């Protein structure tokens, strides 16, 4: 087969003795499993190795493919500058992949390189592979970064990778580089969250059985709360196997330092139309969209019509049949847009700024799709995929202590002078008052130890 095999490998720098200085012995099962995974790839003698790296150049709306003839990197940032690696890039593969993406209107290519040096998530798996090669010579490499786009697009990129290999007659092996949760232990570098161990349990079950369709069921809020690293790498790799039955082997799982490390091997077996997981996920999303449209109320409908009209070049206006609740009242409101479970824009007002609530929602909907500085403007092709929610805010009230907050019931406004940070209530992954206030502080640029004024508010959420 064109797709020789694939591996899921972690990339902790301390796995290298020159960096771990003995600490690597605490993850000996991972060390041995990474060596076995490298031997698995080496035995297949691939023409090209595709490395999917969470630490390569990353953009919200673009998959960066490393350009050029070669690249080098070192572990100087980890105290081992003498440990270096140089790779040759498969330029023909990169050109073919970029051209295929352009023809498909898919956002991937070589534009936008910020850092040509190899990152540690690329180098660590390749160092293991170099040691496993009989002559110590690595095959040509294609390095692919991740993006902020939906998981379905990551999976689609995997399909493009395999199609490119088929077009060139290249036998490829795929390395999905990625650690698991970074929130497994209270004494770990990022602390403990309940989502951390749960993520690792679920992802090892999915990858250990090649249940690639379940990768779409991990919501963005859950993944963020778990502090995972490699989920999008794993999803691209899964796309390489779309429509194929897969033999999977789980080699190891460890997390003694508070970060999960998992190693799995994957071999293609035979065509299997039942495993076209992208088609199944897109059908599920279309059915969900139909249900949402059937159940949307006047608040959500107004936000959606405003966004669709604006993005298509029109001038949004209030409809003639606006309900009295939107025509005769005034209030602050937030409009939030989501795409495949990921936030796509959110703009709002803490109090009324328009003559009526309907106009408040209309203006904020347009701002959410076009003026949220965190995201590019919504494109016309995204419109059928967007999910909307509208939060109508009660007037904010002063509180003297965080004890008066409840992140499920109340939103919070944190203020110091002219700096203000607001966080809506009942957000996925925000489960404590401390985290709610900390996020609001960061949004306002207020330090963790600066005195602040606290306010709370309630919302009526329309989804």
What are the tens digits of pLDDT across the range 218-254? 988 889 889 999 999 999 999 999 999 999 999 999 9
**Residue 384 pLDDT grade (very low, low, confident, very high; cuts 50, 70, 90):** confident
pLDDT score for 291:
85
CA dihedral 103, 105, 110, 114 (to 10 degrees): 170
CB neighbour class for 84 (10 Å; exposed up to 12, middle 13-18, buried from 19): middle
Q: Which of 207, 294, 258, 187 is nearest to 33 (CA)?
A: 207
List Cα–Cα distances, 174 to 9, 24, 245, 341, in angstroms: 11, 25, 16, 27
Residue 340 has pLDDT above 80, yes or no: no
How confident is the model over 7-21, as a mean pLDDT? 97
- Is residue 115 pLDDT above 80, yes or no? yes
Instruction: Report yes or no: 108 and 158 within 8 Å, Cβ to Cβ.
Output: no
The angle formed by the CA atoms of residues 267, 270 and 275, to the nearest 5 degrees, is 90
Q: Please provide the average confidence, as pLDDT, over all residues in the chain.
A: 95
In three-state secondary structure terms, 418 is coil
Q: What is the DSSP letter of 341?
A: T
pTM of the prediction? 0.81
Q: Which pair of tokens denotes residue 29?
A: 């099962």
Highest mean pLDDT (candidates 99-113, 331-345, 427-441): 99-113
Exposure string for 200-223, b = 16+ CB within 10 A, e = fewer: bebbbebbbebbbbebbebebbbb
Q: Does domain 296-462 have CATH number 3.30.700.20?
A: yes
Average pLDDT of the segment spanning 36-54: 98
What are 300-312's pLDDT values in tens digits? 999 999 999 999 9
Give the count of beta carbons closer than 10 Å to the beta carbon of residue 429.
16
Long-range contacts of 131-138 (CB under 8 A, 24+ apart): 131/35, 131/38, 132/35, 132/38, 132/39, 132/41, 132/42, 133/42, 134/42, 138/49, 138/87, 138/88
382 falls in which pLDDT band (50, 70, 90)?
Answer: confident
Nearest to 210 by CA among 239, 181, 179, 177: 239
Q: How many CB atoms are closer than 10 A to CB 433?
A: 17
Predicted confidence band of residue 200 (pLDDT cuts 50, 70, 90): very high
Q: What's the CA gap between 257 and 128, in Å, rounded?
A: 21
Q: Provide the pLDDT confidence category of residue 149 given band limits of 50, 70 and 90.
A: confident
Among residues 286, 268, 38, the alpha carbon closest in space to that of 152 is found at: 286
The tokens describing 410, both together, are 């109340």
| Secondary structure letter of residue 384 according to DSSP | G
Contact indicator for 210, 246 with CB cutoff of 8 Å: yes
What does the alpha-carbon distance between residue 199 and residue 180 come to, in Å, rounded to a whole number? 8
On whether the CB atoms of residues 149 and 15 are closer than 8 A, the answer is no
pLDDT tens digits, 61-110: 899 999 999 999 999 999 999 999 999 999 999 999 999 999 999 999 99
Asked if 377 contacts 369 with a C-beta cutoff of 8 angstroms, the reply is: yes
Token pair for 275: 């495993």
Contact by Cβ (8 Å): 44, 5: yes
Contacts of 295 (CB under 8 A, 6+ apart): none
pLDDT confidence of residue 341 = 75
* Number of neighbours of residue 281 by Cβ within 10 angstroms: 19
Q: How far apart are CA 22 and CA 16, in angstroms?
A: 9
pLDDT at 138: 97
In the block, residue with structure tokens 């309907």: 358
Q: In the prediction, which pLDDT does 339 show?
A: 86
Q: What is the pLDDT of residue 60?
A: 84
* Portions of the chain given CATH number 3.30.700.20: 296-462
Residues of the chain with CATH 3.40.830.10: 3-280
Domain spanning 3-280: CATH superfamily: LigB-like (3.40.830.10)
Q: What is the pLDDT of residues 154-191, one digit of tens each?
A: 999 999 999 999 999 999 999 999 999 999 999 998 99
């Amino acid at each position: 087969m064109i797709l020789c095999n694939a591996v899921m490998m972690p990339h902790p720098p301390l796995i290298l003795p020159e960096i771990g200085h003995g600490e690597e012995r605490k993850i000996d099962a991972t060390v041995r499993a990474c060596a076995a995974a490298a031997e698995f790839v080496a035995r297949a003698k691939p023409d090209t190795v595709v490395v999917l790296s969470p630490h390569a150049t990353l953009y919200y709306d673009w998959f960066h493919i490393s350009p050029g003839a070669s690249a080098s990197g070192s572990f100087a940032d980890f105290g081992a500058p003498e440990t270096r690696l140089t790779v040759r890039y498969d330029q023909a593969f990169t050109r073919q992949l970029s051209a295929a993406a352009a023809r498909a209107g898919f956002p991937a290519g070589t534009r936008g390189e910020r850092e040509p040096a190899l990152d540690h998530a690329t180098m660590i798996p390749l160092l293991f592979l170099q040691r496993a090669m009989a002559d110590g010579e690595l095959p040509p490499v294609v390095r692919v970064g991740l993006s902020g786009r939906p998981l379905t697009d990551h999976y689609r990129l995997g399909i493009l990778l395999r199609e490119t290999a088929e077009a060139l007659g290249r036998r490829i092996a795929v390395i999905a580089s990625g650690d698991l949760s970074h929130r497994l232990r209270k004494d770990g570098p990022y602390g403990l969250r309940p989502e951390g161990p749960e993520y690792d349990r679920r992802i090892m079950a999915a990858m250990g059985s090649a249940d690639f369709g379940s990768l779409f069921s991990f919501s963005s809020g859950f993944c963020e709360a778990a502090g995972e690293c490699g989920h999008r790498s794993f999803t691209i790799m899964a796309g390489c196997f779309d429509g194929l039955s897969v033999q999977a082997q789980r080699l190891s799982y460890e997390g003694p330092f508070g970060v999960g490390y998992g190693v799995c091997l994957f071999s293609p077996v035979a065509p299997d139309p039942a495993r076209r997981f992208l088609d199944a996920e897109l059908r599920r999303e279309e059915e969900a969209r139909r249900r949402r449209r059937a159940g949307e109320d006047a608040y959500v409908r107004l936000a959606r019509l405003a966004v669709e009209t604006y993005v298509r070049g029109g001038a949004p206006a209030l409809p003639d049949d606006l309900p009295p609740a939107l025509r005769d009242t005034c209030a602050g409101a937030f409009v939030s847009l989501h795409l495949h479970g990921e936030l796509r824009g959110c703009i709002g007002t803490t109090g009324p700024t328009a003559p009526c609530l309907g106009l408040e929602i209309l203006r904020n909907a347009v701002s959410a799709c076009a003026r949220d500085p965190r995201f590019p403007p919504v494109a016309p092709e995204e419109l059928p995929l967007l999910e909307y929610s509208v939060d109508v805010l009660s007037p904010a009230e002063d509180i003297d202590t965080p004890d008066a907050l409840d992140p499920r019931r109340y939103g919070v406004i944190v203020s110091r002078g002219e700096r203000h940070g607001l966080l809506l209530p009942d957000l996925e992954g925000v489960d404590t008052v401390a985290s709610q206030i900390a996020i609001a502080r960061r949004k306002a640029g207020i330090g963790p130890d600066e005195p602040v004024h606290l306010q709370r508010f309630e919302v009526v959420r329309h989804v």
